[in-house]
């Protein structure tokens, strides 16, 4: 169960670091993507950091498996963490492209919240 989260976590950290290096090449330009405080630039930065952050969540899950029961709640948390990890940066980039996409942020947020709640339930309930 945790092998996929382990692989995905490290992959997403790598992708996040590469994405940060790529967008970092343009940060010197005060007007890039509408300026420092623009919606587009903030969403691109959030996409980059969410890659690393959701990768770390998947790694934390993989490293926590010995403390978790292997019941249905924990088995469901595993794919939800991956779904949230893929959906969060994707929605950020889509929202940077077209601000109306912000309305679907509930998808990655719900997946990640449900995953963490299931992990807690699998450990403490």
Q: What is the mean pLDDT of residues 4-26?
A: 95
Higher pLDDT, 31 or 109: 109
As a whole number of angstroms, the distance between CA 68 and CA 62 comes to: 10
Structural domain for 27, as ranges = 2-124
As a whole number of angstroms, the distance between CA 99 and CA 51 comes to: 20
Structure confidence by residue, pLDDT tens digits, 46-81 = 999 999 999 999 999 999 888 877 787 788 999 999
C-alpha dihedral, 60 to 117 to 44 to 11, nearest 10°: 30
Domain count across the chain: 1
As a whole number of angstroms, the distance between CA 82 and CA 47 comes to: 15
Q: Which two tokens stand for residue 88?
A: 């969060």
Helix residue ranges, H only, 34-105: 39-64, 72-97
């Amino acid at each position: 169960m945790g092998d996929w989260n382990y692989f995905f976590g490290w992959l997403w950290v790598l992708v996040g670091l590469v994405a940060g290096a790529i967008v970092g090449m343009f940060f010197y330009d005060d007007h890039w993507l509408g300026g420092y405080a623009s919606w587009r630039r903030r969403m691109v930065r959030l996409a980059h950091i969410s890659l690393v952050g959701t990768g770390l969540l998947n790694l934390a899950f993989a490293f926590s498996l010995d403390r978790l029961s292997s019941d249905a709640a924990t088995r469901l948390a595993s794919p939800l963490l991956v779904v949230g990890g893929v959906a969060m940066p994707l929605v950020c980039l889509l929202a940077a492209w077209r601000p109306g996409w912000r309305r679907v942020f509930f998808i990655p947020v719900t997946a990640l919240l449900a995953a963490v709640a299931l992990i807690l339930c699998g450990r403490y309930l």
